[in-house]
Structure 1
């Protein structure tokens, strides 16, 4: 930190950083960031200063940022990047690795970026077992930053601990060496993809009511784990036939990948939970790939049966390490006391929420697929406008966003409730 024109630069910055530390200011809020490898990769890496043995040191706050300077890319990581690009090209899509996207004054660094149909961009991030679990931080912020700039984040791993996180949409394959990953054989994704099962909550249903009552008489959806081929995942996310969703179970928000058909049916369910959403036409089920698998299936199941549910080729399921939400989570119902500060909401929020609810209710009076798709997009746009307005209002007034949203829902109850 020596500079010929600024002889007191280190003392000034070090004294200020230590002062912030005594006040308990978070490292990420002290305006010191790595200006080397991390900046070149488009990562905002907070740092702090210290003296050790008379030596001046600038230290990364997060271990994963520190390892970025020393740990080279593993052969397995490179193999996944090559496989993603090869699978995308076979599906007629283009892509590139280590892509930097300009965002204001900073950058977004993407492991592998696939350019899909209709301007769709899938940003694949590979996190393997070479990184300690405690060092994997900032995933939610990086995924949100990518989404905000038109990139759909797709995080892949070979660690069960990573796949069980809900900070972004994770997929997982078995831990395999690089030479196996690069083979043309079938590579399975054993976690992260779901098939939604829709059912009516009556005395004949096999599942407990997620609302915690005996039988509510409404329609519900239950996510069921399914394996999917990695190459098909790459191609179909680019094509838009596999999409990410957020699925709330109790107070927990889960993030899964599902077919676009299941996503549309889930939107229909949310628009009218008193009846089952109409079944959608799907592409004829295809047989499994003729390529040899990269790992030995442990539970042989009917491939035709699984293909008919999702419309994509699947392989037999592996032992379910990542499971569906526990019954206790499904029965849990949020019971939070609203803060008094959120009681008086502006009329603009109420008007926007009423408009979104009206767009949702109009879906109940439509029956044709095309009319429902058009109206569903109107509802999504209106709901997104409400969410953005709630976020801005809570941030401006230093309020808890969830409490503001719940208070708004109390003021504008759903017409179907």
Structure 2
């Protein structure tokens, strides 16, 4: 039996809960943890990177499973976490690592792991320890994304982020996608790729705050080029968390109710001991939209900011110097260079219809 904080109707009461054992150490699990740690260290050594296992931090408050150091001094602290860990522990250990110049990289195998989106993370398949030790492919299933930028027009293969229906707003959208959902599809990222790229700076962590809730957000690993483009588009740079954050900020109350001695085993309904919800949903999140350029007259000069030009270049997949206004609607398009045209696809469709 445990006493914990619940959440009911905006209040945070103290409640009694009969929770199942969330983690029971087994020889197979410890071997799985050890095999993953050894694979990270061996991969780093094979690429000529400095790597150490079971590294205590300077203040001795925690021990990192493995620390990989890149050529430029980037230090990545690998935390293999295959069992449940409280959100506060994840945040505290991550902040402690950042304070000592180490970028934390948490590895999970469960889509319900509480560490997901609370620190830079990666999710792999639940594999037997022998497969891990024998070098079987360990694909990063979650935690690594690619930035996709597209113009919201009828010919686009992507849906509109601004409208709930199937319409098109004409703006430029940017969002993060798993490799398999990219257009064109990207190659999957393996754990060996992340060991090398995170240490060399080719892959970097990024924190994307939620537009609806400033306290919420998502951590992910991305390519350095994608992060640079994203920061230019949104105009902000959000560092890793540097201070502890409480999971529940509500007022703790006590309802002075009689103890319920009835056994609830087998009853239907929601209880505090129910399984944890999925946190790694694999859906694109954290999208950003640049507003569509206003329609201009034939004699009006075209005004475009450097950010709009860069985003349009990424969306249209052409160099910035090949961009220009459509002769019909005035929106940015591939106006110059090879495969260029005077009218965008929408305007050409209208003209051909005449």
1:196 paired residue number: 147
Shift in Å, 1:225: 0.9
1:280 paired residue number: none
| DSSP 3-state at the match of 1:179 | helix
Q: Distance in 1 between matches of 2:287 and 2:149?
A: 15
Q: How much is the aligned-residue C-alpha RMSD, in angstroms?
A: 3.8
2:174 paired residue number: 221
Higher relative contact order (CA 8 A, sep 6+): 2
Q: Distance in 2 between matches of 1:163 and 1:190?
A: 16
Shift in Å, 1:228: 1.0
Aligned equivalent of 1:125, options 70, 79, 83: 79
- In structure 2, relative to structure 1, the CA distance for the partners of 1:77 and 1:228 (3 Å cut) is same
Aligned equivalent of 2:37, options 81, 91, 94: 81
Q: Distance in 1 between matches of 2:234 and 2:111?
A: 31
- In structure 2, relative to structure 1, the CA distance for the partners of 1:182 and 1:170 (3 Å cut) is same
Q: Are 1:243 and 2:204 matched, yes or no?
A: yes
Shift in Å, 1:72: 11
Q: Are 1:146 and 2:102 matched, yes or no?
A: no
Q: Are 1:162 and 1:170, in contact at CA under 8 Å, matched by a contact in 2?
A: no
Q: Are 1:322 and 2:273 matched, yes or no?
A: no
Q: Distance in 2 between matches of 1:99 and 1:143?
A: 14
Shift in Å, 1:271: 3.8
Q: Any unmatched runs of 5+ in structure 1? A: 1-20, 25-62, 273-320, 332-360, 368-417
Alignment of 1:15-414 (within 5 A): 74-103=30-59, 106-128=60-82, 131=83, 133=84, 137-162=88-113, 165-212=116-163, 217-226=170-179, 227-251=188-212, 252-271=216-235, 322-325=281-284
| DSSP 3-state at the match of 1:74 | helix
Q: Any unmatched runs of 5+ in structure 2? A: 6-20, 180-187, 237-279, 289-304, 312-354
Q: Distance in 1 between matches of 2:124 and 2:29?
A: 19
Shift in Å, 1:202: 4.0
**TM-score of the pair, normalised by structure 2:** 0.53
Shift in Å, 1:80: 0.9
Q: Distance in 2 between matches of 1:256 and 1:174?
A: 17
**TM-score of the pair, normalised by structure 1:** 0.46
Q: Are 2:98 and 2:104, in contact at CA under 8 Å, matched by a contact in 1?
A: yes
- In structure 2, relative to structure 1, the CA distance for the partners of 1:215 and 1:222 (3 Å cut) is same
Shift in Å, 1:364: 7.6
- In structure 2, relative to structure 1, the CA distance for the partners of 1:366 and 1:177 (3 Å cut) is closer
Summarize deviations over 1:138-178 as a string: whole Å, max 9, x none.
Answer: 21222122123211110001111127831112211111111
What is the aligned length?
A: 221
Q: Are 1:110 and 1:123, in contact at CA under 8 Å, matched by a contact in 2?
A: yes
- In structure 2, relative to structure 1, the CA distance for the partners of 1:259 and 1:215 (3 Å cut) is same
Summarize deviations over 1:332-368 as a string: whole Å, max 9, x none.
Answer: xxxxxxxxxxxxxxxxxxxxxxxxxxxxx8878999x
